[in-house]
Amino acid sequence: MHVTGTSQQAARNTGYLADNTAQVTVTLPLSADCTVGDIVQVSGLGGGGWRIAQNTGQSVLTSPIDGTGVLWTARDSNRSWYFVAASGDGAHLAAAVYGGYIYTSADSGTTWTQQNGSGTRNWTGIAMSANGQYIVAVVTGDHIYTSSDYGANWTSRDSSRDWYAVDCSGSGQYMVAAVNTGYIYTSTNYGASWTERTGPGSQTWWDVAVSDSGNLVLGVRHGGQIARSTDGGANWGSVGPTYNWSAIDCSADGSRLVAAADGGPIHTSNDGGTGWIDRTGSASWRFVAGDDTGRHLLATITNGQLHVSQDFGLTWHTRESARTWVGAGVSGDGRIMLAADYGTQLHVSAPQTTTGASGYLTGGRDAAVALQFLGGGTWRVLSAAGVITPY
């Protein structure tokens, strides 16, 4: 249907061509009038573009248009949240309270459970396997702690040291942890035993990362290059420029890396760390996290905004308000992002518009989208072209 006005009530299984110099608003049909599988299509022709408005109780799942990281929802209570982790599909999440317990979620962050078995500790890092079953966390002046039952029970590992960072592979079999002023340690048996790696020296390590195979192991520190091992930690070299590095992450296969510097830029690598590209301006970057492919990235700035990239770090967008952002986590599939605001709440982003009449989609002159009704007020983006933004 050719729409030349500025508003149009949509009917199910109908397409609309928005043709006006002002924005054309197309309102979705009421859920009660729809059947599962119904389609609504909107395309832009006029310079004003279009807006798809929702009714009460409606929302749109936006995965095909990279909606993750646009909208954020505060979850749980005010606590000293600091470190976070996400599973492969984002259903399982974990968050550590500094001086408190570890909390887990099995519903993508909607509800959280205090894991009393973890005890109250000064947690300094947490990581999770792709299925959420294996969790590893470290404590300064204490031990490494592992759980193999989604956080219900915990076992202390290795010696008491000033542990400062930890990561694990998708399977949970391979783990890496670092001592703040000491060595990097690796495990190949789900954290049961650990091997000291003296190759990169005793340093003030800030963060570590490991690929799914366990072969690529990375460590960053202030005032140095990035430490890299391609054989599970046996041998080490230095790559990248010298910065006060504060965070690092890698894709599942270890080919794509992202590293952030405190007072410097974010850098990315697409060849396992041999070459690096400066992607942002300088800032007090604290944490950075990516999905399994390295495409969807989240970076935090303490006393700044969240920064999100959906194109391997090529472009970045500021999100949310300036807060005391610390821990960052991204699910393996890139659909769920998790950020910790120290002293207040956790914040979760999913590829979905805001529920109700306040939620909507916009597109420009050359943008087009097809929405499919899934029932219960939920629509999903079936196909899309051009730049489309969810709200």
The Cα 371–Cα 41 span in angstroms is: 6
79-137 per-position pLDDT tens digit: 999 999 999 999 999 999 999 999 999 999 999 999 999 999 999 999 999 999 999 99
Other Cβ atoms closer than 10 A to 281: 9
136-148 per-position pLDDT tens digit: 999 999 999 999 9
231-246 per-position pLDDT tens digit: 999 999 999 999 999 9
| Residue 65 clears pLDDT 90, i.e. is over it | no
Span 2-61+354-390 CATH architecture: Sandwich (2.60)
**Three-state secondary structure readout of 298-332:** EEEEEEEEEEEECCCCCCCEEEEEEEEEEEEEECC
The single-letter DSSP state of residue 31 is G
For the record, the structure tokens of 123 come out as: 């947690």
Taking CA atoms, 21 is separated from 42, 56, 360, in Å, by 16, 28, 20
- Mean pLDDT (the chain, rounded): 97
Which residues belong to CATH 2.60.120 in the chain?
2-61+354-390
The Cα 292–Cα 276 span in angstroms is: 19
Span 68-349 CATH architecture: 7 Propeller (2.130)
352-379 per-position pLDDT tens digit: 998 999 999 999 999 999 999 999 999 9
The Cα 45–Cα 51 span in angstroms is: 13
Residues in the chain: 391
Which residues belong to CATH 2.130.10.10 in the chain?
68-349
